Amino acid sequence: MALVAIGLQVLRLTRPGGLLPGNASDTSLYLGSAIRLVHGALPYRDFVLLQPPGVVLVMSPFALLSDLVGSRWALGAVNLCTPLLAAANVALVGHLLRHRGWQAVLAGCGLMAVTPITYDALANGMLEPLMDLFCLLGLALIFDGDQLAGRRRMLLGGVAFGVAGCVLVAAIVPALVVAALAAYRQVKRLSLYAIGVAAGFAVPSIAFFSITPGIFVHDVVLAELARAPGTHRTLAITRLQYMAFGDGPLAAICAAAILLAVIVAGFALVRRRFTTFDVFALAGMVTMAAVQFSIATYYNHFAAMVVPFVALPLGIAVGRLAVRRPRWVAAAVAAALVLVLISVVPRFAADSGPQWQGEVDAVVPPGACGLSSPYQLMVMSDRFTSDVPGCTPMVDPFATVLAYRNDPRGLERTFQAALHHTDYLVASTTLVHALWGSSLAPVRSYVTDHFRLVRDGPIYVYVRDGFRVG
């Protein structure tokens, strides 16, 4: 199944625009943030980053590589690593389920390998697959078969969960489930686990937190929490589509119902004492699924964080059912995986979208001082780094708007400062939409007064008066 995961991701990367994408990708955001970091600009202090620093640290070697090959090919190098990430997550699920029989491994690893949303997340920031990797690594250390492992492994597993939280704060949910189980069954080991979690999060974060503690807490925690209770919520059925193969409402409901039926049947029909691992698998699935419905605006790649936490109880349930009918269960699982694989392969063979980097390259000279909205336009066009002293360090204008949503004057000042130190402005839409809202009206006026529009679709490029084009 790990080879299937590698094959699907390689197929996606070999399609036009797969390795070097020209459309929206959060991977560009985190690579761009890492490039800023290795050149001396600190996230939270010098530019807005609405995630913990873990992913930026992971991207730092590729940011250093960008000095040699440019940001576009550095982005390609990041994408070349994604098949290994997909395979590692599949292998870790298999490791956790191996003591339940090969049918359990086939079901759990199969779900991990053929779920399309996992590959969407790999192409769009990699936060969820990276979080899954460290969570699964933590579980592999914490569980010895069906029971909690010894103290040393509890400590190391806690470290892995802490690192997962330093990538994506949602990792706190399965970490708390493990803590609850340790408190109930192995109280003495809970303290070591908690120390590990704290260390895993604190060590990568402490340098950033110590410099700007208030901004760090605001951007990583408070700004994200403020997005949860929004009035315009993504429909529940849309979220379910993302989590259940994304083939339309009816197909999503059917897929979710089948998965749930298998899990319920495995745990209810086969009488067997519940183990600590069983309890975690069920509690982890329920809590992580609940997270998917907790925030107002829901993006498709969010669903990737829940996949391993469904794969584990599914594998356990299949393993329990296989005790009675091993051949029938194995045949049913294999047939289901083949059908799903046949249905998802055409998605991986599709092109990734429009390629806009040539439009930017034609206008923005290498080494110029530029800013783009959305952020990925400059990274993918290899125009992200600047030789101009004092050039704005802003990476993500949209994240900046979110961070200052309750401070309109601060938002205006931040954008004014950025544009006063920018000579080229690249946008995927018109100025009024790129700099949306009444708070940014003075900023739009500044651009109109000091910049000229030189490209008018499919992307819009504004050049400061007196500066050359191309």
What does the alpha-carbon distance between residue 337 and residue 331 come to, in Å, rounded to a whole number? 10
Residues 297-312 have pLDDT tens digits of 788 888 899 999 999 9
Q: What is the model's pLDDT at position 186?
A: 73
Q: What percent of the chain has pLDDT over 90?
A: 49
Residue 307: domain span: 2-64+76-348
Indicate if the pLDDT at residue 120 is higher than 90. Answer: no
Are residue 271 and residue 135 in the same domain, yes or no? yes
* 69 domain-assigned: no
* The domain boundary residue, chosen from 307, 327, 348: 348
Is residue 296 predicted with pLDDT exceeding 90? Answer: no
- Residue 230's pLDDT band (cuts 50, 70, 90): low
pLDDT band at 156 (very low <50, low <70, confident <90, very high): very high
Single residue among 302, 326, 348 that ends a domain in this structure: 348
* 185 found inside a domain: yes
Does residue 470 form part of some domain? Answer: no
Average pLDDT, the chain: 88
The 3-class secondary structure across the chain, one letter per residue, is: CHHHHHHHHHHHHHCCCCCCCCCCCHHHHHHHHHHHHHCCCCECCCECCCCCCHHHHHHHHHHHHHHHHCHHHHHHHHHHCHHHHHHHHHHHHHHHHHHHCHHHHHHHHHHHHHCHHHHHHHHCCCHHHHHHHHHHHHHHHHEECCEECCHHHHHHHHHHHHHHHHHCHHHHHHHHHHHHHHHHHCHHHHHHHHHHHHHHHHHHHHHHHHHCHHHHHHHHHHHHHCCCCCCCCCCHHHHHHHHCCCCCHHHHHHHHHHHHHHHHHHHHHCCCCCCHHHHHHHHHHHHHHHHCCCCCCCCHHHHHHHHHHHHHHHHHHHHHHHCCCHHHHHHHHHHHHHHHHHHHHHHHCCCCCCCCHHHHHCCCCCECCEEEECCHHHHHCCCCCECCCCCCCCCCHHHHHHHCCCCHHHHHHHHHHHHHCCCEEEECCCHHHHCCCHHHHHHHHHHHHHEEEEEECCCEEEEECCCCCC
Predicted local distance difference test score (pLDDT) of residue 231: 56
pLDDT: which is higher, 32 or 439: 32
Q: Is 71 domain-assigned?
A: no
Residue 469 within a domain: no
- Among 300, 315, 348, the domain-final residue is 348
Residue 205 has pLDDT above 80, yes or no: yes
Q: Are residues 323 and 366 in the same domain?
A: no
pLDDT digits (tens, 9 = 90+) for 233-249: 788 888 888 887 767 78
| Per-residue model confidence as pLDDT tens digits over 31-76 | 999 999 999 999 999 999 999 999 999 999 999 999 999 888 999 9
pLDDT band at 23 (very low <50, low <70, confident <90, very high): low
Q: Is there a single domain that holds both residue 364 and residue 330?
A: no
Residues 325 and 400 in one domain: no
Mean of the pLDDT values across residues 351-375? 79
For residues 175 and 275, membership in a common domain is answered with yes
Helix 249-269 / helix 236-243 crossing angle, nearest 10 deg: 70
Q: Tell which phi-psi region holds residue 109, choosing left (phi > 0), alpha (psi between -120 and 50) or beta.
A: alpha
Tell me which range, 7-11, 52-56, 215-219, 403-407, is most confidently predicted by mean pLDDT: 52-56
What does each C-alpha distance from 127 to 25, 58, 301 come to in angstroms?
12, 11, 9
Is it the case that residue 351 has pLDDT exceeding 60? no
In contact, 173 and 288? CB cutoff 8 Å: yes
Together in a domain, 337 and 361: no
Lowest model confidence (mean pLDDT) among 183-187, 275-279, 369-373, 450-454: 183-187
Among 69-83, 169-183, 265-279, 340-354, name the one with the lowest average pLDDT: 340-354
Q: Are 165 and 224 in contact (CB under 8 A)?
A: no
Question: In the predicted model, is pLDDT for residue 345 greater than 60?
Answer: yes
The pLDDT tens digits for 162-174 are 999 999 999 999 9
Structure tokens at 170: 């949602």
* Cα–Cα distance measured from residue 71 to residue 395, given in angstroms and rounded to the nearest whole number: 13
* pLDDT average, residue stretch 398-415: 89
Specify if 137 maps to a domain: yes
Ordered strands of the 424-427 beta sheet: 370-373, 424-427, 460-464, 451-456
With a cut of 70, say whether residue 24 has pLDDT above it.
Answer: no
Q: Residue 181 has what pLDDT?
A: 92
pLDDT tier for residue 229 given thresholds of 50, 70 and 90: low
- Which has more confidence, 422 or 185? 422
Reported as a pLDDT band with limits 50, 70 and 90, residue 392 is: very high
- Report if residue 70 sits inside a domain: no
Burial class (CB in 10 A: 0-12, 13-18, 19+), 187: exposed
Taking the whole predicted model, whether its pTM rises above 0.85 is answered as: yes
Residue 195 and residue 138 share a domain:
yes
* 257-274 per-position pLDDT tens digit: 889 999 998 888 888 888
362 has pLDDT over 70: yes
Contact 278, 271 (CB under 8 A): no
Confidence grade of residue 436 (pLDDT, cut at 50, 70, 90)? confident
Which pLDDT value is given to residue 355? 66
pLDDT, average across residues 187-209:
92
Tell me what pLDDT residue 105 has: 93
In this prediction, residues 82-103 reach a mean pLDDT of: 94
The domain tally of the chain equals 2
Q: Are 188 and 218 contained in the same domain?
A: yes
User: Is 90 part of any domain?
Assistant: yes
Clarify whether residues 343 and 365 are in a common domain: no
Q: Are residues 55 and 17 in the same domain?
A: yes
The C-alpha atoms of residue 183 and residue 173 are separated, in whole angstroms, by 15
Q: Are residues 339 and 390 in the same domain?
A: no
- What is the token pair recorded at 364? 């923005």
Does one domain contain both 329 and 397? no
pLDDT digits (tens, 9 = 90+) for 324-340: 788 888 888 888 888 88
pLDDT at 246: 62
